[in-house]
Amino acid sequence: MTTTTSHSPAIAVKGLRKAYGDKTVLDGIDLAVPAGSVFALLGPNGAGKTTAVKILSTLITADAGELRVGGHDLVTDAQAVRAAIGVTGQFSAVDGLITGEENMLLMADLHLLSRSEGRRTAAELLERFDLVEAAKKPVSTYSGGMKRRLDLAMTLVGNPRIIFLDEPTTGLDPRSRHSMWGIIRELVSGGVTVFLTTQYLEEADELADRIAVLSDGRLAAEGSADELKQLIPGGHVRLRFADPAAYQSAAVALREVALPRTPGFARAGGAPVDEALSLQIPSDGSQRELRSLLDRLDSAGIEADELTVHTPDLDDVFFALTGAANVFDQPEEAVR
Ligand SMILES: Nc1ncnc2c1ncn2[C@@H]1O[C@H](COP(=O)(O)OP(=O)(O)O)[C@@H](O)[C@H]1O
Ligand SMILES: [Mg+2]
Q: Which of 184, 91, 190 is nearest to 129 (CA)?
A: 184
What residues are paired with 240 via a beta bridge?
278, 306
> 307 CA distance to ligand 2 centroid (A)?
40
Pick the residue with more confidence: 258 or 291?
291
Q: How far is the CA of 72 from the centre of ligand 1 (A)?
A: 26
| Domains contained in the chain, CATH given | 11-230 (3.40.50.300), 236-329 (no CATH)
Contact 270, 336 (CB under 8 A): yes
Q: How confident is the model at residue 6, as a pLDDT?
A: 45
Pocket of ligand 1 (CB under 6 A): 20, 25, 43, 45-51
For the CA of 47, the closest atom of ligand 1 is 22
**Which of 17, 22, 25, 166 has the most ligand 1 atoms within 8 A of CB, as the residue to mutate?**
25
Instruction: Name the residue of 22, 51, 167, 215 to mutate for ligand 1: max ligand atoms within 8 A of Cβ.
Output: 51
Mean per-residue pLDDT, 206-231: 90
List all residues 6 or more positions away from 227 whose beta carbon is below 8 Å from its beta carbon: none
Higher pLDDT among residues 51 and 285, named by residue? 51
Nearest-CA residue for ligand 1 atom 7 is: 20
Task: Give this prediction's pTM.
Answer: 0.77
Q: How far is the CA of 50 from the centre of ligand 2 (A)?
A: 4
Confidence of residue 326 (pLDDT cuts 50, 70, 90): very low
Q: How confident is the model at residue 223 (pLDDT cuts 50, 70, 90)?
A: very high
Q: What is the pLDDT of residues 101-123, one digit of tens each?
A: 999 999 999 999 999 999 999 99
CA of 24 to the centre of ligand 2 (A): 16
Q: Which of 89-93, 191-195, 246-250, 272-276 has the lowest mean pLDDT?
A: 272-276
- List of residues 6+ apart from 238 with CB closer than 8 A: 278, 279, 280, 281, 306, 307, 308, 309, 310
